[in-house]
């Protein structure tokens, strides 16, 4: 029962789930109760209206940029629009490096792609850009952009080895995990089809320690460069991915079992936060399955563990995976193929248990350092077969560190069909337990890969069917969180989007809800070198806005630069508008004789 001990360890020092209210379930938000949810109930002072932001004013948008920087931006965008160049960009970069030599190649890159998308080579060299952007109202999310240059074959080999447990190797690949949570050789190289996210591959525990040290340096650099910075981290950099797969499988099976029980009680199809099981009926079903004696079952569902409402919801159900309940040793779920009951908490080897423990220790070390230097952590979302575990472990860190204010931010991918359920459940959990909700909303970075993997392996596509459906999901999730922020002054959200319509939607809802930028509850985020016509007007109007700022040596960030070039080509509508505004401002400066404009 190693997983039980791990879960117990990660939850030590964190609050238990509050007992359920005896009041009937309702769709309305609970009344203000500052004793339970931080920030609720405070009298809101009269505030001036939300400032107006003009995204069509090129002069204001590029006030922080010299003319040669605008010209570079135009050149890079034009090159990114060339399909021929993009199709062969990696070969062209290698050839240019050989022809020019390292020194000249570095200079060329700093004049073009590197200078556009990367802040500098080290912590010292990035400081001027961070401080310059800050002077114009734009903060920084630091990320060390160095990536390993592995071949497809080597990446696939490392992935298959690190995603297979010791027991599976002994059984020659046999796995009790569901297909979605098993490694597949066709998708061993997780970089394939992904243009907007960095990928880490597991080599050994020493490499994970090295990644942790890199993140620590990022946190220190962010704390030294500004007083309100962020640092982005990925959990696949901090531990063996097989542990995340196995844990994700456990969490998904347990949630599915809840919905099966709900269907038996005639409650299928309800929203996640509205689905409640009748405890008496649940006890009867569990007894019929032969999981335990009736007397044992009655002791699991007591007022002490679940409240006195006579029902339990998905949050209560999830809390049962905890070594402090007698139920944990009996947890079983039906096998979807055989119909037989199987243990939910399957055993780890001693080494695998230690690997999980070390991953949690690394997360804890990073959060403590961030707390010390006043930097907030953003835990990036990853592939769906890792994400349930990533979200759960991030949630545990939020319980521990988001006591007075959000220090740890979870990321929600709104191209997922279950994004709204995930957001609403976590908001409700934060309310009950009294910690501060912190979220980053993104559309998602793995769509093509996720679709191909689901089709190949044979499970339901987790992605929304259309781009329009993803936009609707993003706005639905965002609207729900903004409504929460209206009632909870300590909750925060980052709207991480290059979509101008989404930013306009956010500004409109902020005005309607009375969310003022001076309260710093709603942040905006874009990548360095992209969509300055959105970031800088927001910052100059007083909205908290951040650039995702990578740094690292030229040759070691080439994979990152390749993705930025591809990403610019994939968002042509936004890139065309950006080019129009850049040309507009350059021509204005030429007419006005201000080509040598100096930002001030």
How far apart are alpha carbons 441 and 91 in whole angstroms?
A: 35
Q: For 166-222, how does the pLDDT look when each residue is reduced to its tens digit (9 = 90+)? A: 767 666 555 677 888 888 888 888 888 776 677 889 989 999 999 999 999 999 999
* More confident position, 591 or 45: 591
Which segment of 267-276, 413-422, 478-487 scores lowest on mean pLDDT? 267-276
Short-list 180, 162, 159, 163, CA closest to 418: 180
Statement: residue 28 has pLDDT above 70: no
Q: Round to whole Å and give the CA distance between 277 and 255.
A: 13
What whole-number percentage of the chain has pLDDT above 70? 82
Q: What pLDDT score was predicted for residue 29?
A: 44
Q: Looking up tokens 């004696």, which residue turns up?
A: 293
- Please tell me the predicted confidence (pLDDT) of residue 510: 95
Which domains, ranges and CATH numbers included, belong to the chain? 148-190+192-496 (3.20.20)
Low-confidence winner among 210-219, 286-295, 296-305 (lowest mean pLDDT): 296-305
Above pLDDT 90, what percent of the chain? 52
Point out which residues pair with 549 in neighbouring strands. Answer: 142
Q: What is the pLDDT of residues 378-420, one digit of tens each?
A: 999 999 999 999 999 999 999 999 999 999 999 999 999 999 9
Q: What is the mean pLDDT of residues 493-500?
A: 96
Which one-letter DSSP state was computed for residue 237? G
pLDDT digits (tens, 9 = 90+) for 241-252: 998 998 898 888
Do residues 541 and 51 make contact, with C-beta atoms less than 8 angstroms apart? yes
- Contact, 309 vs 316, CB < 8 A? no
Q: Assess whether pLDDT exceeds 60 at residue 341.
A: no
C-alpha pair distances (Å), 93 with each of 87, 97, 193, 467:
12, 6, 20, 33
360, pLDDT greater than 70 = yes
What is the arithmetic mean of pLDDT over 428-449? 94
- 95-142 per-position pLDDT tens digit: 999 999 999 999 999 999 999 999 999 888 999 999 999 999 999 999
- Identify the pLDDT of residue 285: 83
The HSE-up count of residue 494 (CA atoms within 13 Å, CB side) is: 34
Classify burial at 182, counting beta carbons within 10 Å of its beta carbon; exposed 0-12, middle 13-18, buried 19 or more.
middle
Give the C-alpha separation, 178 to 194, whole Å. Answer: 24
Does 519 have pLDDT greater than 70? yes
Asked whether residue 71 carries a pLDDT value surpassing 70, the answer given is: yes
Mean pLDDT of 284-288: 80
Tokens of 501: 């319509």
Tell me the average pLDDT of the chain.
Answer: 84
Q: With 0-12 CB in 10 A as exposed, 13-18 as middle and 19+ as buried, what is 296?
A: middle
pLDDT at 11: 57
For residue 25, the model assigns a pLDDT of 36
Point out the least confidently predicted range of 22-31, 340-349, 417-426, 538-547.
22-31
């Amino acid at each position: 029962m190693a997983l039980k001990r791990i879960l117990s360890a990660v939850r030590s020092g964190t609050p238990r789930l509050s007992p359920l209210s005896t009041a009937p379930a309702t769709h309305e938000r609970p009344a203000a109760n500052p004793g339970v949810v931080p920030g609720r109930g405070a009298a809101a002072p009269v505030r001036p209206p939300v400032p107006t932001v003009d995204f069509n004013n090129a002069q204001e948008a590029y006030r922080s940029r010299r003319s040669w920087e605008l010209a570079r931006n135009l050149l890079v965008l034009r090159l990114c629009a060339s399909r021929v160049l993009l199709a062969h960009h990696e070969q062209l970069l290698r050839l240019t490096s050989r022809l020019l030599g390292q020194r000249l190649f570095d200079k060329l890159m700093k004049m073009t792609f590197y200078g556009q998308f990367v802040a500098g080579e080290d912590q010292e060299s990035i400081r001027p850009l961070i401080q310059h952007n800050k002077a114009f109202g734009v903060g920084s999310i630091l990320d060390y952009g160095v990536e390993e240059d592995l071949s497809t074959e080597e990446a696939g080999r490392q992935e298959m080895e690190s995603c297979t447990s010791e027991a599976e190797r002994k059984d020659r690949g046999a796995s009790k995990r569901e297909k979605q949570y098993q490694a597949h050789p066709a998708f061993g190289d997780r970089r394939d089809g992904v243009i907007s996210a960095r990928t880490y591959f597991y080599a050994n525990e020493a490499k994970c320690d090295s990644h942790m040290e890199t993140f620590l340096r990022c946190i220190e650099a962010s704390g030294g460069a500004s007083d309100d910075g962020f640092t982005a981290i990925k959990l696949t950099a901090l531990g063996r991915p097989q542990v995340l797969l196995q844990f994700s499988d456990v969490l998904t099976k347990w949630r599915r079992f809840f919905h099966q029980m709900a269907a038996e009680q005639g409650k299928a199809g309800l929203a996640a936060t509205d689905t409640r099981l009748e405890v008496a009926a649940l006890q009867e079903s569990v007894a019929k399955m032969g999981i335990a004696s009736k007397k044992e079952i009655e002791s699991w569902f007591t007022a002490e563990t679940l409240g006195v409402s006579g029902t339990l919801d998905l949050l209560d159900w999830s809390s049962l995976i905890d070594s402090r309940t007698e139920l944990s040793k009996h947890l079983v779920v039906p096998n979807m193929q055989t119909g037989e009951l199987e243990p939910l908490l399957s055993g780890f080897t001693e080494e695998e248990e230690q690997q999980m423990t070390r991953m949690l220790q690394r997360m804890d070390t990073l959060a403590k350092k961030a707390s010390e230097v006043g930097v907030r952590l953003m835990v990036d979302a990853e592939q769906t077969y890792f994400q349930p575990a990533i979200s759960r472990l991030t949630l545990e860190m939020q319980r521990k560190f988001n006591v007075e204010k959000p220090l740890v931010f979870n990321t929600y991918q709104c191209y997922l069909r279950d994004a709204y359920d995930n957001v609403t459940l976590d908001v409700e959990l934060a309310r009950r337990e009294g910690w501060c909700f912190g979220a980053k909303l993104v559309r998602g970075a793995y769509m093509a890969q996720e679709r191909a993997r689901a089709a190949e392996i044979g499970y339901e596509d987790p992605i929304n069917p259309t781009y329009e459906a993803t936009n609707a999901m993003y706005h639905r999730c965002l609207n729900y969180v903004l409504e929460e922020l209206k009632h909870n002054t300590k909750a925060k959200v980052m709207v991480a989007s290059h979509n101008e319509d989404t930013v306009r939607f956010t500004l409109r809802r902020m005005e309607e809800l009375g969310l003022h930028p001076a309260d710093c509850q709603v942040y905006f985020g874009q990548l360095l070198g992209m969509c300055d016509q959105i970031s800088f007007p927001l910052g100059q109007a007083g909205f908290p806005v951040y650039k995702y700022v990578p740094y690292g040596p030229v040759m070691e960030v080439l994979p990152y630069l390749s993705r930025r070039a591809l990403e610019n080509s994939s968002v042509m509508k936004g890139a065309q508008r950006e080019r129009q505004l850049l040309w507009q401002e350059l021509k204005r400066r030429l007419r006005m004789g201000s080509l040598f404009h100096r930002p001030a």
